[in-house]
Amino acid sequence: MTNEQLREYKTQRRRNTLIMFGLIFAGFLINYLLFTLVSSLGLPLYLDNVGSALAAVLGGYMPGILAGFMTNIVNSLTEPTSIYYGIITVLIAAVSAFFESRGWLSLKKPHMVISYILILTLLGGGLGTLLPWLLDGLSFESESFGSALRNAGIRNQMASQLFGNLIMDFLDKSLTTALVLIVKALIPKNVKKILRFDGMLQAPLDKETSAEVKAVRCRALSVRTKIMTLIITALVLIGTAATTISFILFSNVTVEQQKKLVNGVANVAASIVDGDRIDEFISQGRAAPGYAETEKRLYDLRGSDEDIRFIFVYRIEPDGCHVVFDLDDPLIPADKPGDIVNLDTYAKPYEFALIGGEKIEPIVSDEDKFGWLLTVYNPIYDSSGKTAAYAVAEVSMNEIGDHQRNFITGMTALYLLFFVVIFAIVLWVVEHHIVTPTNSMSMVVSKFAFTNDDEQLNECVDKVKALGIRTGDEIENLYNAVVKMVSTSVAQLEDIRHKSETITKMQNALILVLADIVESRDKNTGDHVRKTAAYTRIIMKKMKEKGFYPDQLTDKFIESVGNIAPMHDIGKIKVSDMILNKPGRLTDEEFVIMQTHTTFGRDIIQEVIQLVPESDYMNEALNVSYYHHEKWNGKGYPEGIKGEDIPLSARIMAVADVFDALVSKRSYKEPFSFEQACDIIREGAGSHFDPLVAEAFLDAEDEARKIAESFGDLTVTAYVEDTHVDDSGKAR
């Protein structure tokens, strides 16, 4: 990436960041203004999610979620409980982004729009109704107090409220959806494209490339899955630990506060009752002077705090609890002064201590009849310092359970809010800083690894450079290393390919020179090696067009056979000049010696193969030199094999070799005409020649004629009829 491109990239990135924060702020502002408007008008609507839903639809997950998060954070400054509802706002933004990413928020898909409204209604009206119930500590009382009817009424009230809220929220979310769709329709496409925050830290990918990047699969778990699994696990563990510890601390503090309260109440009650008059209060009851005033002060004390459930004064003796004061309560009838009642079950373990006038620790009880109570027995001393009675105060702990439920509900809602926000941010970072850049590099480099075409290699280099990954971390370092590696590799490949082509040309030139040296010893053959090579190429080209032997006739095979065709008679270098250049017919003995050129050719090429053992190129040279005089019917030499047992390259060379011998002028014969030579090839198909090879050659006779004419072989058309050319090219 050039400096200019880098500057442009940084400018674009800053612009995208500003657009994202602009969307977040705009979403928050729309939420706030619309909610304020409908509240001031007294409308039964909220419209407090329009902005975050719109930010999600236009900008994606991140702007929408952060706009919703910001809305509840700001609202919590004036209304602390607003933070607990943040999870609803954030989920609505996430659902909006999801529907938009699938192309479902469109009037062309009304069923999906209705589904969207229903989901928002369940989030806003359903979860939004249940959450305040839990936060307010709404609970059902025990049926033991005959309150089943009242609890049934509460249940009906809750169901009615939930149904009503769902109806109103359906209207609210329908209007919210309508506003979102209207704004979306009014914004031009080019503006939408600018507003869409993809957060890519590299050059934009086209749709096709983006789809390929997303389709990249891993052998096991992807980096995205691993990181998100770790993040989720960490968030769950940390959240659970933090919530549990906070709950324990909150519960302990609340219980301690209640203990302080009940101790204080018991102390005050003990100070109100005159210990010297306990016997008088027991015997005379309300008729005793000062009894009524003391009782009133105890009633006032009980009414000072709603958590104080019972206050009574007992003198505890072996025969039971002698009632001094028992304040009237709607739950149980009050005992009269002087009555003897049994000690409460939960105080039985402390009975002897109480009879002895000792001070005991607060007692926590959880009985079905009275619920969860905290009871304190505080001694009332007479003027001599002796315990005359006990002032007993009981505080209900049921409210603590409600507070605990409220606390855990609020903590859970708050935790879920931060969980979703943190999860979304981490997922975005992983996707755009790690997964997409890595998969982009992987996809481009994999294409580089499976191509040999120079143009495609250069295109791969350009594509790698065009990614322009700028994450500013180890991924960018890896990208820069990949760019350098790919560029260097392509340059080296081009150099190697150039040298390879030079070596191949040199090799082919050496083959021709060697073949020319061999042929120069035979005064009769002239340009035979070049012509046969040309004939083999047109034969193989036509065979491929016709689909003959597709498994064998590959491009590599065609190139190899065309290049090594001049070596088919290399064994003649070991045949005597007297036989090679004999102007007349060969004797049988001479013909046997001439046949040995195939064996000599095999031996020469085998020596080369020992030096270069892994060479398909030379293996085909061996096949051509050794087997090109074999016949389809098995009557050839040197092995006498037949049919497809003869290597394909040798069967092709057989047609090219015989045809050139027929149309070429020799010192011992005149050339056959082109038509006569073709007739001989046609007649030999299925006996001398592979019928498919012969067919391909005859179908390419126009190209064959041009080759023959280019070498001057068709200037003479007559020939001596009693002359027969054998497989060695000599007159017999």
Q: What is the pLDDT, as a whole number, of residue 415?
A: 84
In whole angstroms, give the CA distance from residue 243 to residue 249.
10
pLDDT at 678 over 90: yes
Q: What is the pLDDT, as a whole number, of residue 509?
A: 65
Cβ count near 715 (within 10 Å): 9
Q: Is the model more confident about 368 or about 240?
A: 240
Q: Is the model more confident about 498 or about 537?
A: 537
- Average pLDDT on 72-87 reads 81
509 strand-pairing partners:
none
Instruction: Give 99-120 pLDDT, tens digit per residue.
Output: 998 889 988 899 999 999 999 9
In whole angstroms, give the CA distance from residue 122 to residue 135.
19
In whole angstroms, give the CA distance from residue 647 to residue 627.
7
Instruction: Give 590-600 pLDDT, tens digit per residue.
Output: 888 889 989 99
pLDDT at 681 over 70: yes
Q: What is the pLDDT, as a whole number, of residue 721?
A: 39
Cβ count near 452 (within 10 Å): 8
Q: What share of the chain is helix, strand, coil (3-state, %, to 5)?
A: 70, 5, 25
pLDDT at 477 over 90: no
Give yes or no for a contact between 24 and 45, defined as CB atoms under 8 angstroms apart.
Answer: no
Instruction: For each of the domains in the chain, give its residue range(s) and CATH number, in order of start.
Output: 1-198 (1.10.1760), 273-396 (3.30.450.20), 521-710 (1.10.3210.10)
In whole angstroms, give the CA distance from residue 298 to residue 310.
10
- Average pLDDT on 6-17 reads 70
- Average pLDDT on 289-307 reads 89
Q: What would the DSSP string read from start to end of 154-180? A: HHHHHHHHHHHHHHHHHHHHHHHHHHH
Give yes or no for a contact between 421 and 414, defined as CB atoms under 8 angstroms apart.
Answer: no
Q: What is the pLDDT, as a whole number, of residue 539?
A: 94
- What letter does residue 388 receive in the DSSP assignment? E
- Average pLDDT on 91-101 reads 92
In whole angstroms, give the CA distance from residue 291 to residue 693.
133
Q: Is the model more confident about 328 or about 474?
A: 474
Give yes or no for a contact between 237 and 443, defined as CB atoms under 8 angstroms apart.
Answer: no
Q: Which residue has tokens 């009752």?
A: 273
Question: How is residue 155 written in tokens?
Answer: 């249940």
Instruction: Give 454-465 pLDDT, tens digit per residue.
Output: 666 777 777 788
Cβ count near 589 (within 10 Å): 9
Dihedral sign, CA of 466, 467, 473, 478?
A: negative
Measuring CA to CA, which residue among 473, 479, 477 is closest to residue 444?
479
Q: Is the model more confident about 487 or about 375?
A: 375
Instruction: Give 482-497 pLDDT, tens digit per residue.
Output: 888 888 877 777 777 7
- Average pLDDT on 207-236 reads 81
Burial (CB count <10 Å: 0-12, 13-18, 19+), residue 625:
buried
Q: Residues of 200-220 as b/e, b for ≥16 C-beta within 10 angstroms?
A: bbbbebeeebeebbeeeeeee
Give yes or no for a contact between 337 and 282, defined as CB atoms under 8 angstroms apart.
Answer: yes
Residue 152 phi/psi, 5-degree rounding, is -60, -40
In whole angstroms, give the CA distance from residue 130 to residue 151.
17
- Average pLDDT on 334-355 reads 89
Q: Is the model more confident about 459 or about 315?
A: 315
Mark residue 547 as left, alpha or beta (left: phi above 0; alpha: psi -120 to 50; beta: remaining). Answer: left
In whole angstroms, give the CA distance from residue 181 to residue 107.
8
End-to-end, the C-alpha distance of the chain in Å comes to 75
Q: Is the model more confident about 227 or about 453?
A: 227
pLDDT at 319 over 70: yes
Measuring CA to CA, which residue among 381, 185, 363, 348 is closest to residue 274?
381
Q: What is the pLDDT, as a whole number, of residue 140?
A: 38
Contacts of 125 (CB under 8 A, 6+ apart): 162, 165, 166, 167, 168, 169, 170, 172, 173
Q: What is the pLDDT, as a whole number, of residue 143?
A: 39
Percent of the chain with pLDDT over 70: 83
In whole angstroms, give the CA distance from residue 378 to residue 692.
119
Do strands 363-367 and 340-341 pair parallel, antiparallel, or not at all (unpaired)?
unpaired
In whole angstroms, give the CA distance from residue 237 to residue 231.
10
In whole angstroms, give the CA distance from residue 203 to residue 594.
71
Most confident of 264-278, 302-316, 364-378: 264-278
- Greatest alpha-carbon span in the chain: 167
Q: What is the CA radius of gyration of the chain?
A: 51
Instruction: Give 618-643 pLDDT, tens digit per residue.
Output: 888 899 999 999 999 999 999 999 99
- Average pLDDT on 596-624 reads 83
Containing 708, the helix (H) or strand (E) segment is: helix 701-710
Give yes or no for a contact between 668 and 730, defined as CB atoms under 8 angstroms apart.
Answer: yes
Question: How is residue 378 written in tokens?
Answer: 């505080």
- Average pLDDT on 669-686 reads 90
Question: How is residue 156 written in tokens?
Answer: 């009906």
Instruction: Give 27-59 pLDDT, tens digit per residue.
Output: 999 998 998 898 888 888 888 899 999 999 998
310 three-state secondary structure = strand
Q: Work out the pLDDT band at 147, boundaries 50, 70, 90.
A: very low
Task: Quote the mean pLDDT of the chain.
Answer: 82
Distance of CA 264 to the CA centre of its chain: 62
Q: Which long-range contacts (CB under 8 A, 24 or more apart) does 154-160 make?
A: 158/133
Do strands 320-326 and 308-317 pair parallel, antiparallel, or not at all (unpaired)?
antiparallel
- Average pLDDT on 436-460 reads 73
Q: What is the pLDDT, as a whole number, of residue 488?
A: 83
